[in-house]
Amino acid sequence: MACAKGTRRMAALQFLWVCLIFCVLIQITSSQYKKKENVLTDKVQQLMEWNTKKSVIRFNGEKFRQYVKTSPRNYSVVLMLTALQPQRQCAVCRQANDEFTILANSWRYSQQYSNKLFFAMVDYDEGSDVFSGLKLNSAPVFMHFPAKGKPKRGDTMDIHRVGFSAETLSRWVAERTDIQIRVFRPPNYSGTLLLALLFSLIGGLLYLKRNNLEFLYNKTSWGIAALSVIFAMTSGQMWNHIRGPPFMHRNPNTGQVLYIHSSSQGQFIMETYIVMLLNVAVVAGMILLNEANLVKGDAGKKRILALVGLGCLAFFFSLLLSVFRSKYQGYPYSFLFK
């Protein structure tokens, strides 16, 4: 009987010890959970405070690690890594920053605004360690850091393929976060002012020349004006205005500078200038061929104009076709150059 009582007493003591340890573990887990909740609350409150002052939060290396890389985190961060200092001479970075700010302002002042998404930036001169940590050696770069887990391949935006306009950024953010942001661009009155100035100049010119309006019947002037519009449109200037592509591309691995986009779905600003100049040269060759036919008397001058015009037409059209072949892989036809 005494042995049985001792066994029951030991079992009761063991049960009490197990209950005590279980209670201690629950207390520790609860305190850790509360600590994480407090840390997360403090982080979100700080981000919201910064966001009320600026739609794009500036991070250095320390703040990036604290608010983006370190858990806990229940919010997404869209980060722009850039180099805005004048000595970096990154014109594309300034353009990208303008578009990124437009998108961040659209989110900040939208009805859907919440603490689930923040827009931030890291400048190279303020956080070079962030660039090295992410293994980046070029700018600008747009990255999405999800609320849970690490960034995936699609969380880095391919600006060389799709550009970096605010509308393009908005579609990319919607794909990564399921948050739709309607872009609101600030009103730009420069176009209206330029148009008003142009009409004023034309009106003033017509008033001063009201007794001599023969220049309105000048075919050459109207032809140059029409060709200028055609060259601007066929070279892709309107596409540049809509998409906002980079001026050119430098390969981060080899350092090679590319002026012609390798895909038919994209182009660089420099590429439009090249295409425009080639079109101008082709038209100039055709004009010389036409002028050679109109020259009277001097056969030698006719021959020279015809040969120069034919040479310009063949040479520059071949270059234009070569550019076309480089963008449309597999195009079978070429002329003079491949």
* Mean pLDDT score, 74-79: 91
Domain match, 170 and 235 both: no
Domain match, 227 and 159 both: no
What residues make up the domain containing 141?
Answer: 46-177
Domain match, 98 and 152 both: yes
**Mean pLDDT score of the chain, rounded to an integer?**
81
Q: pTM of the prediction? A: 0.54
Which one is predicted more confidently, 285 or 335?
Answer: 285
Would residue 185 count as lying in a domain?
Answer: no
| Residue that finishes a domain, picked among 144, 161, 177 | 177
Domain match, 167 and 232 both: no
pLDDT tens track for 151-171: 888 899 988 888 888 889 999
Would residue 147 count as lying in a domain?
Answer: yes
pLDDT tens track for 222-260: 888 888 888 888 888 777 777 667 777 776 666 677 778
Query: What is the structure's pLDDT at 86?
Result: 84
Domain match, 173 and 74 both: yes
Q: Is the pLDDT confidence value at 100 over 90? A: yes
pLDDT tens track for 15-57: 666 666 766 666 555 445 445 577 788 888 899 999 988 999 9
pLDDT tens track for 187-196: 766 667 878 8
Q: CA–CA separation, 158 vs 266, rounded Å?
A: 11
The total domain count for the chain is: 2
Q: Is the pLDDT confidence value at 291 over 90? A: no
* Mean pLDDT score, 261-287: 84
| Residue that finishes a domain, picked among 177, 210, 232 | 177
Would residue 158 count as lying in a domain?
Answer: yes
Domain match, 52 and 166 both: yes
Which one is predicted more confidently, 298 or 286?
Answer: 286
Would residue 184 count as lying in a domain?
Answer: no
Would residue 160 count as lying in a domain?
Answer: yes
130: CATH: 3.40.30.10
Q: CA–CA separation, 92 vs 83, rounded Å?
A: 9
Would residue 250 count as lying in a domain?
Answer: yes
Query: What is the structure's pLDDT at 30?
Result: 47
| Residue that finishes a domain, picked among 149, 177, 205 | 177
